[in-house]
Amino acid sequence: MAFGGQNGRSTEPIFEPLRKLKVVCVGAGASGLLLTYKIQRHFSDFDLQVFEKNADVGGTWFENRYPGCACDVPSHSYTWSFEPKTDWSASYATAKEIYQYFKDFSTRYGLDRFIKVNNKVIAATWDKNVAEWHVKAENTITKEITETSCHILVNAGGILNAWKWPAVPGLKDYKGQLVHSAAWGEDVDIKGKVVGLIGNGSSGIQILPSIKNDVKHLVTFIREATWISPPFGQGYEEYTDEDRDRFARDPEYHLQTRREIEAGISGVFAQFYAGSEAQAKSRQYMQSLMEARLANKDLEKLLIPSWSVGCRRLTPGVDYLESLTAPNVTTVFGNITHCTEAGVVCETGDEYPVDVLICATGFDTSYRPRFPLLGTTKTPLSDEWKEEPAGYMGLAVNNYPNYFMTLGPNSPIGNGPLLICVEAEVDYMIKFMSKFQKENIRSFDVKAEAVADFNEWKDAFMSNMVWTEDCRSWYKAGSISGKVAALWPGSSLHYLETLESPRWEDWNFSYMPNRNRFEYLGNGLSSAEARPGGDPSYYIRNRDDSPIDVCLNSKKAGGNELKTGLENRARDKT
């Protein structure tokens, strides 16, 4: 076996990089930007290429520009945990503001130099002979093809990034202006027009109150009931200059505000347990709230669901319910049978002519990659996941070595605070990249049995949650009774603890040929000894502050008394 340095002796201390790390990332939305930031922060010897299909960074917040587009969680919660923003205009920020937050984040840390915009990944193939991914990207303007290779491939393309038209017969026959909410162009003209709106998901709920005063008449087509929730964690308010000034000059106050909001969002998870007291209270509260806001018995019967709160993604709807009873709004329930040149025909046989037809009908939420991704089996992942996306902890899949996803199947997309979960995923990947670079690892691939066990546990857990009830939800790939593919089996905080320490035993590792896996031990010096100004006695302290692995159940927790005694002893000494 070969060793670094002269005469087979390493000249570097422990844990020094043994080779350049090569990474390709698909997508420069929030997740891709965070990965870029973390790689730049943690590594010095690396090559990183980020391919972004759009003309700028920001992902969904760059793409979605429909009227009323905003985040449905509080602004102060929709930031990286380490990168607060004090000058939000309101407690719920617009899409434009959120895009600017991520754009500024990219600029502030010089991330743009790694990003190739207007470049769409069109293929990625694992080459077992060299243990690298071969990636092809196409310039969306010039059609020029870029070919590159990398040690580790990360798909940060997101789940809500491939919008789709509704499966309505005759949709292409419609002669008016046809618009999808996720592809809202500057040429969309609704002023004084009769407008049709298909869908009452997140986008439709935001669009309707935002345009009702601009249109002559609005016909909203609703297929199913849904729970319209109050705002999460914080009510809606526009921030004053005084508010923003206090956030900026009093970091502790701002930090406390952020923590209170975050705690409020995390607190809703208990209601997702089917049959729980929290669910019953939530249902009673939500039903009374919707009844009060609708003040219309006919609409109440049609819009308030029979299934539990949270079976579909909860959506705060500021002024949505009130808008349904506006004089210039017609609410049509039931299925659409087809479109004509003039408008929409429903199952009652009634036709509704409209000048503009808006389809707020969502995305392809199958989790299947948007490009051919070939691993060790040479079967595209999109084919393997045709029936069910079976992954590992929301970020990996077997037979695809050195490959990660952000917000993959069964990641906590609706379990509580989201961006901190993206941070946990990226930090998990960084641990793998560090181990890969320093320990002569050639490849890592999650074991098939680990994937099978995880999905067995996930499915069993989901049977006790409201998400498996009979409601049509993108959590179940748009089905009524399919498996839950879009949620973590636990809370967001549960996900953070799960990913904190990788289960290395769930992975198959292979090592570089003719290299020693212990080469990272180096010249025998610790990093503290080798680093200028390092502290060679860093481990000396006045009390044992190491973590104690204690069960929360006191009957089973043998260490509770010991922990209390140690804390009392430390307090007495001070």
Annotate 7-68 with DSSP letters as a single string: GG---S-TT---S-EEEEEE--SHHHHHHHHHHHHH-SSEEEEEE-SSSSS-THHHH---TT
Q: Which helix (H) or strand (E) holds 138?
A: strand 132-139
Helix 419-438 and helix 30-42, axial crossing angle in degrees, nearest 10: 40
Backbone angles phi, psi at 340, to 5 degrees: -115, 180
**pLDDT at residue 478 greater than cutoff 90:** no
Q: At CA 264, angle to CA 426 and CA 315, rounded to 5?
A: 80
Distance CA 207, CA 53 (A): 26
Residue 567: per-residue pLDDT: 52
The answer for residues whose C-beta is within 8 angstroms of residue 98's C-beta and 6 or more apart is 58, 61, 70, 71, 75, 78
C-alpha to C-alpha distance for 52 and 571, rounded to whole angstroms? 54
pLDDT of residue 565: 47
Contact between 119 and 52 (Cβ < 8 Å): yes
Q: Is residue 385 within 8 Å of residue 366, measured between CB atoms?
A: yes
Check residues 199 and 9 and name the one with the higher pLDDT: 199
| Whether pLDDT at 7 is above 80 | no
**CB of 21 closer than 8 Å to CB of 153:** no
Structure tokens at 293: 């806001």
The helix/strand/coil state of 152 is strand
Is residue 558 predicted with pLDDT exceeding 70? no
| The amino acid at 384 | E
Residue 294 has pLDDT above 80, yes or no: yes
- pLDDT for the residue 402: 99
Domains of the chain: 18-159+365-511 (3.50.50.60), 171-359 (3.50.50.60), 544-574 (no CATH)
For residue 72, give the amino acid letter: D
Q: Which two structure tokens, joined as six digits, stand for 465? A: 């949650």
- Asked whether residue 340 carries a pLDDT value surpassing 60, the answer given is yes
CB atoms within 10 A of CB 572: 7
CB 35 within 8 A of CB 25: yes
pLDDT-wise least confident of 90-94, 390-394, 545-549: 545-549
Average pLDDT over residues 8-21: 85
**pLDDT in the model for residue 572:** 53
∠ CA 520-504-49, nearest 5°, is 70
Give the span between the Cα atoms of 135 and 143, in whole angstroms. Answer: 15
Region 109-123 average pLDDT: 98
Q: Please, are residues 32 and 50 in contact by the beta-carbon 8 Å criterion?
A: yes
Residues 6+ apart with CB under 8 A from 16: 438, 520, 522
Position 549 scores a pLDDT of 76
Residues 6 or more apart in contact with residue 438 via CB below 8 angstroms: 15, 16, 17, 18, 520
